Structure 1
Amino acid sequence: MDNSTISEGAGDSCPTTGGLRNDGGFSQPGFHFKDLLSHPSQNWHVLGWLACLVLLLITWIVALYIVWKHLRNYYDPEIQRHKLRVLLYPPVYATLAWFSYLRYDYSTTIMFFATLFEAFAVYNLYACLQAYLKPFREEAGTIKEGVTTKVFMLFKVNLKSKWGMHYRIITDILVFQYPIWSIIDALVSVIASVKGYYCGESYNFHGAHVYLVIINFISLSIILSALFTYLAIFHEEWQRGHIKAHGMFWCVKGPIMVIFYFGEILLSVLETAHIIKGTDGTHSSDGLAWPAAAVKNGLYVILICACMCVIMFVMIKFFGPDDNINKALNQEGRLSTWQAFVDGYLSYLPEFFYNVLCCGVDSYRLARKRMELKARKKREMYATSETTGHLLSPMAQGPIEETKVEIYPPESEVYPMPKPAHQSSHYHQL
C-alpha cells in the first residue's frame, strides 16, 4: 500500500487526532524554484502557488486603488463606509486562501477566518443598499404601498406595505442570520478541530463538517432568497435613483456562490468519487506523496484567487466612488482621508454588533406587536360573538307582545264622495 492510500485512508477516518493542524500524515511540500524550469512536471504545486500569487497582487493593486479613491473623495459616509468594507473582501479572502495553499496543514483553520470575512461583506452589501433606500423611505413616510412581484420568475410575492416595519425587520432577520451563523460556524469548527471531531476531509456523519456544510447550504439559500426578493420589491426605486443594486449584489454573492457550489460541493464530490486522485510521490521533486485532499485544496485555492481577481475589476464599476462624487459635487463637508479611514474601517465592528443588537430589539418589538394584534382580534371576535348572542337570545329580545291587527274600511266609506246634483233631485222626486 503506497503513501497516497495511507493518507487518503487517514483522511476518511473520524474522529481524528485533535488540534488545529490537519491530520493525515501529509508533510509540508518543498518549493524547489531551481528545479521549476528544468522539471516543471514535478513542481506543479509551485506553478499553482506562483499563479495564485500573481492573481493576488493584481487583486490588491486594484482594491487599494479604489479604496484610495474613496478616501480622497469621501462625500457620502452613509453609503461609502459600506463600499469601503466590501472592497476589501476579494483581496483579504484571496490572501487567506493563498496562505492555506502555502500551509496545507493549517488550511482548515485559515479558511475559517476567510468565511467569517465573507459574512461581513454580505452584511455590508445589505447595509449599503439600505442606505441607498433611506431617502425613498423618508419620502414614503407612513404610506402603505403594496406591491406584487415575482422572484425567479416563479414565486409570486404580495406585500401590503413594502415600507412597513414588518417586511423590513423580517428581511433584517433573514440577512443577519448569515453573518451570525458564520461566526458560530467558525467557533464550532475551531472547537471541533481541537477535539478531533471536525473531519473536514470527508463527509463522515461522525464529524461536525458534514453538518456544518448542510447548515451553511440552508443559511446561504435563505439569504439568497431574501436578497433576491429585496431586489425585486424595490425595483422601481433602483431605477429612479439610478442605483446599480443588481450589479452590487452579484459582486458579492457571485463569488460566494461560485466558491461554495463549485469549490466546496463539486470538488468534494469529485474527491469522494475518486475523480480527483492523490499521487504516490514518484513525479514529485521531493518525493512527497500528495493525498487527494491536498490536490483538491490546491485546485480550490486557484479557483478562489482567479474568481476574486475577476470580481475585483467588476467592482470598479459597481463599488467605485463616481456616483457618490457626482451626487456631492455642489456640496461641502468632505471628510479628510484619516476621518474617512476611521469611519470606514475602525468603527466597523462596533457598528456591526450595534446593528445586530438593534435587529434583535426590533425583532422583539415586532413579535410583541404581532401578539398584541392577535390578542386584539380575539377580543374583538369575542365581543362580537357576545353581542350577537345577546341579540338572538329571548331575554335580549324582551317579552313577546300581542299584535293587534286593525281592519280599516275602504277609503270610499271613510270619505264618501258627494253625489251628483241630478241624482240627488231624482232621489228627492222619488
Structure 2
Amino acid sequence: MAPTCPSSNTQSVDQSSFWSSGNTNWDAHRIGWAVAGGCAAVTLIISCVSILQHCRNYNKPNEQRQVLRVLYMPLVYAIISFFSYRYFRSYTYYSLVESGLLQWSFNGLQLLLIEYVADTASGRDALKAMERKDKRPLPFPFCCWRFRPTKPYFMYTVKWSVLQYVIIRPACSIAGIICEAFNVLCESAGYSIYYANVYLEVIDFISISVALYGLILFYALTKDELAGRRPLSKFLAIKLIVMFTFYQSFVISWLEGSVIKATEYWTETNIADGLNALAICIEMVFFSAFMMWAYTANEYKIEGAPKTRIWRPLWDSINYSDFAVEIVGSLKFFVDYIRGKPSTHSGRRADAEFVNNHNKRMDFGQAFGVEGSTYPRQPRKSTAGGGGDGESRAIRPRSSYDEEVRLAPYPISSDSNLSDHPNQVGV
C-alpha cells in the first residue's frame, strides 16, 4: 500500500474571515491579507494599463498577441498568489494552477523573438536570417559542442525546446492536483522518494531548464537582428520571475521547521506557503512595472492612425491555435526527418568558397559580376567524355540579378567632348 502524506495543513484554531466580532484585529495574519490584496490590486492596475495600450494600438497582430500573453504573467501570478494566501488550506492547488499557466508566457516570448528576427529577413522569413549565421559553439555549459544554424532542423529544434514545456508543465500540474487529492503528493515532506512531489519537481526542473536554454541560445544567435527591440529586458522580465519564485520557494522550504515555527493559527507549512505567496504578490508590483517598460506599446503607435478596438486583441491573445500549429508542424518535421525525407536534410554546400570569401572587400566589378572582375571563379567540371580537371562545379556570381537586364552604353551626343576618346564608354 502506497504511503499517504501526514497532515500538515490543519490547526485547532482557524481564522475564517477578515473581520472578527465587528472589529478588526490587526495581527500578522490580517496585515498579510491587506498587503497581499493591495499589491495584487496595484499589479492589476499596472498590467491592465499596459494591456489596454497595446489593445488600442494593435497594429502588428503577430507580435502584439505574443506581447499580451507575456503581460498577463505578473497579473495572473499576483491574483492566484493572493487567493492562495487568503485560502491557505488550498494553497497547493492554487500553486499548481499558477505553475501550469507559466508556460504560455515562455512560448509567447519565443514566438515574439522569432517575429522580430523575421522582420529583418527577406520575405519576413526567420529561416532566411539563419542563413547568415556561421557555425558556432553552444552557450555554456555545452560550449564544447558546435552547431550550424543553417541546418534545416535547427529552427524546429529551438522551437521545440520551448514547445515541450507547453505540454509537460500543464501535465505535471494535472498530475500534481490528482496526487494531492489522493494525499500522495506531500510537498511538506520535501524531496522524499516515497511521495510524488520529488518526481514531478525533477521533471519540471528538466523541462524548464531546456526551455530557458532554448531561449538563451536563440537570443545569443540573433542578438544583432534584435538590436533596438530591448531583447535582454524582455528576456529578463520572464527569467527573473522564474528565478525569484523558484529560489525563494526553495529557501522558505529550507527554513521550515528550523526558523519558521507553528503558531496558534497556522502550521509551519501554512506559514511557509503564506510567506511565499505574500512575497510573490509584492514582487509582481515591480515586475508588472518593469514589463510595462520592456514591452512598451510606444513602438507600435502610429501617428494619426485611429485607435483599434480591444476585443480582437484580447481574443487573439487567448486563442492558442498558433501554439497547436507550431506543435503539429514541429512534430511533422521530425517524423519526416526520421523517415529521411530529402527536404529535412541538407547536403554539402557547393559554394563553400563563395561563402568563405563573402566578407572580403570587393571592387565594383567583383560586386556586380561584370567582365574584368578579378573575383576567383571555379572551373567547370567537364560533362563530356571524362575531360576536365576533376574539380566539382562551383556556383559563380551572376552577371545580373535579372536575366533580362543588360548593361547598355549611356547615349553620348556627337558633339560631346568624349567623342575624341573612343575608348571611353559610359555606363
Q: Give TM-score scaled by structure 1 length.
A: 0.71
Alignment match, 1:213: 201
Residue 313 (structure 1) aligned to one of 281, 284, 289: 289
In structure 2, do the counterparts of structure 1 residues 32 and 74 end up closer, same or farther at CA, with 3 Å as the change threshold?
A: closer
The reply on whether 1:54 has 2:38 as its aligned counterpart is: yes
Letter aligned with residue 344 of structure 1: S
CA contact under 8 A between 1:66 and 1:320: conserved in structure 2?
yes
Please report how far the alpha carbon of residue 68 of structure 1 lies from its aligned counterpart in structure 2 after TM superposition. 0.9
Contact 2:160 2:327 in 1 (8 A): no
Indicate yes or no: 2:146 matched with 1:161.
no
Between the aligned partners of 1:36 and 1:319, the Cα distance in structure 2 is 45
Alignment check: 8 A CA contact 2:116 2:225 kept: no
Q: 1:23 to 1:270 in 2, by over 3 A?
A: closer
Whether contact under 8 Å (2:8, 2:269) holds in the other structure is no
**Taking every aligned residue pair, what percent have the same amino acid on both sides?**
20
Displacement of 1:95 in angstroms is 0.6
Q: Which runs of 5+ in 2 are unaligned?
A: 349-427
The equivalent residue for 2:215 is 227
- Rounded to whole Å, the distance in 2 between the matches of 1:262 and 1:370 is 48
Cα distance in structure 1, aligned partners of 2:141 and 2:200: 31
Partner of 2:88: 104
Structure 1 CA distance for aligned equivalents of residues 243 and 129 of structure 2: 36
Once the two structures are superposed, what CA deviation does each residue of 1:97-133 show, in whole Å capped at 9, x if it has no partner? Answer: 1111111111111222111111111111111111111
Look up the match of 2:393: none
Distance between the aligned counterparts of 1:356 and 1:58, measured in 2? 36
Q: CA deviation at 1:335?
A: 4.6
Supply the AA of the counterpart residue of 1:85: R
Residue 123 to residue 28, structure 1, CA distance change in 2 (3 Å): farther
CA contact (8 A) 1:149 1:156 kept: yes
> Counterpart of 2:179 in structure 1: which amino acid?
A
Matched, 1:262 2:248: yes
Alignment of 1:333-352 (within 5 A): 335-345=308-318, 348-352=319-323
Matched, 1:15 2:1: no
- In 1, Cα distance between the equivalents of 2:247 and 2:233? 20
Instruction: Summarize the alignment of residues 362-373 of structure 1 with structure 2, pairs less than 5 Å apart.
Output: 362-369=333-340
Greater Cα radius of gyration, structure 1 or 2: 1
> Quick one: which amino acid aligns to residue 319 of structure 1?
Y
Matches within 5 A, 1:67-78: 67-78=51-62
Aligned match for 2:50, one of 66, 69, 91: 66
2:231 maps to which of 216, 240, 245: 245
2:93, 2:177 within 8 Å by CA — same for their partners in 1? yes
Q: Give me the whole-angstrom Cα distance separating, in 1, the residues matched to 2:344 and 2:33.
A: 60
CA deviation vs aligned residue, 1:152-185 (integer Å, no higher than 9, x gap): 59836633235x4322111112111222111110
- 2:188 match: secondary structure: coil
Matched-pair contact (CA < 8 Å) for 1:97–1:110? yes
Following superposition, the deviation at residue 243 of structure 1 comes to 1.5
Match of 1:301 among 277, 280, 288: 277
Q: Is the 8 A contact 1:55 1:309 kept in 2?
A: yes
- Secondary structure in 2 matching 1:236: coil
**8 Å CA contact retained: 2:152, 2:344:** no
CA distance in 1, matches of 2:284, 2:17: 25
Aligned: 1:182 with 2:166: no
Distance apart, 1:351 and its partner CA: 2.7
Is 1:84 matched with 2:84? no
Amino acid of the residue matched to residue 219 of structure 1?
Answer: S
CA distance in 2, matches of 1:36, 1:299: 27
Q: TM-score, normalised by structure 2?
A: 0.72
Do the aligned partners of residues 159 and 57 (structure 1) sit closer, same or farther apart at CA in structure 2, a change above 3 Å counting? same
Structure 1 segments unaligned to the other structure (5+ residues): 1-12, 282-287, 378-430
Q: Count how many residue pairs are aligned between Structure 1 and Structure 2.
A: 341
Matched, 1:25 2:14: no
Match of 1:120 in 2: 104
For 2:229, what is the secondary structure of its paired residue?
Answer: coil
The match for 2:268 among 264, 274, 292 is 292
Distance 1:337 1:32 in 2: 36
Aligned equivalents of 2:175, 2:317: Cα separation in 1: 29
d(CA) in 2 for partners of 1:323, 1:208: 46
> Kindly tell me: are residues 73 and 160 of structure 1, through their superposed partners in 2, closer, same or farther at Cα, counting changes over 3 Å?
same
Deviation of residue 34 (structure 1)? Answer: 6.1
Secondary structure, aligned partner of 2:146: strand
Q: Distance in 1 between matches of 2:203 and 2:317?
A: 31
Contact 1:36–1:46 (Cα < 8 Å) also in 2: no
Bigger helix fraction: 1
What is the alpha-carbon distance in structure 1 between the residues aligned to residue 202 and residue 328 of structure 2? 27
Residues 270, 73 of structure 1: alpha-carbon distance in 2 compared, 3 angstrom cutoff: same
Deviation, 1:24, is 3.9
Query: Which digits, 9 at most, give the CA deviation of each residue in 1:227-271, with x for residues without a partner?
Result: 1121111121112xx1211111111121111101222x2211221
Deviation for aligned residue 1:333:
9.0
> How many angstroms apart in 2 are the aligned matches of 1:170 and 1:275?
45
Q: CA deviation at 1:349?
A: 2.8
Match of 1:202 among 186, 189, 196: 189
| Distance verdict in 2 for CA 1:352–1:39, change over 3 Å | same
Q: 1:354 aligns with which of 325, 337, 343?
A: 325
- Could you tell me how far 1:343 is from its partner in structure 2? 2.3
Give SS of 2:34's match.
helix
Q: State the 1:30 CA deviation.
A: 3.6
Query: Helix, strand or coil for the counterpart of 2:136?
Result: strand
